Amino acid sequence: MFRHMGPFGTNSGRPAAVGRPWLGVRFDCAGVYVRVYRNPNANAYLAQCPACGQSVRFRVGPGGTAERFFTVSCGQSRYTRRR
Ligand SMILES: [Zn+2]
């Protein structure tokens, strides 16, 4: 018996997020790729590296970028080090 199949017969157990914009961001130091959803209060996406905690903000919309995939070179010494 596989209870995780769910009543809909698909593997998508997520609530419908149709139309909700997102960006793909890869963090170099963590080596992971995360999906970032837009901040509902602003035309910006706020992504945070799970490894070093570096947060990066992406502006979108008019005057912003149309790109959807980014790579962040975080965890490098050119950023201010945490104490
Ligand atoms: Zn990082």
Q: Where are the domains of the chain?
A: 21-72
pLDDT in tens, 17-66: 567 778 899 999 999 999 998 877 877 889 999 999 999 988 876 776 77
Environment class of 72 (CB within 10 Å of its CB; exposed 0-12, middle 13-18, buried 19+): buried
Q: How far is the CA of 27 from the centre of ligand 1 (A)?
A: 6
The number of beta carbons lying within 10 Å of the beta carbon of residue 44 is 13
Environment class of 30 (CB within 10 Å of its CB; exposed 0-12, middle 13-18, buried 19+): middle
How many whole angstroms from its chain centre is CA 21? 10
Q: How far is the CA of 70 from the centre of ligand 1 (A)?
A: 13
pTM: 0.60
Q: How far is the CA of 10 from the centre of ligand 1 (A)?
A: 34
Q: How far is the CA of 55 from the centre of ligand 1 (A)?
A: 8
DSSP 76: -
Mean pLDDT across 3-8: 54
